[in-house]
Amino acid sequence: MQAEIRAAGVSDAQAILALQRLAYSAEARIYNDWSIPPLTQTLDQLIEELGTSYFLKAVLADKLVGSVRARLRGETCEIGRLIVHPDFQRRGLGRRLMQAIEGAFPAANRYELFTGSLSQGNIRLYESLGYRRVRLQEVSAALTLVYMEKHRHDN
């Protein structure tokens, strides 16, 4: 059985937030920082973000097992918080969510995202999808973000 990917709405907010916290706890362990925004985001903040971004969810047997969000800023699709339930990682679901969110923004000429510099699995996934590193941003002594981009003609 394969997860179904479809648009998410406000009724999915609580489940997305719970999965986000579960998925990002692995990142928090890597950086020894439990104050990262995906772990401190409130339900109200997530609901507000649902009003400004397009969310996809992956559902398997009525259980939320993945999500990703994006918004269009000019000709750039800004992709954020790709999350997959730990029990479903390394099965192609993250790749499918990324391809679906890119496809949801046909007007975009460029896709941009970021991840932590120590998150090698994430970086490998994004590079395998055609993203390349474009800049680093030091957030703290423990955390440096890697910004990655892909142009539509790179597909």
Task: Among 3.10.28.10, 3.40.630.30, 3.40.50.970, 3.40.640.10, name the CATH number for the domain at 4-154.
Answer: 3.40.630.30
Q: What is the DSSP string of 95-149?
A: HHHHHHHHHT-TT-SEEEEEEETT-HHHHHHHHHTT-EEEEEEE-SSS-EEEEEE
State residue 141's pLDDT score: 81
For the chain, the average pLDDT equals 94
List pLDDT tens digits, range 31-81.
888 888 899 999 999 999 999 999 999 999 999 999 999 999 999 999 999
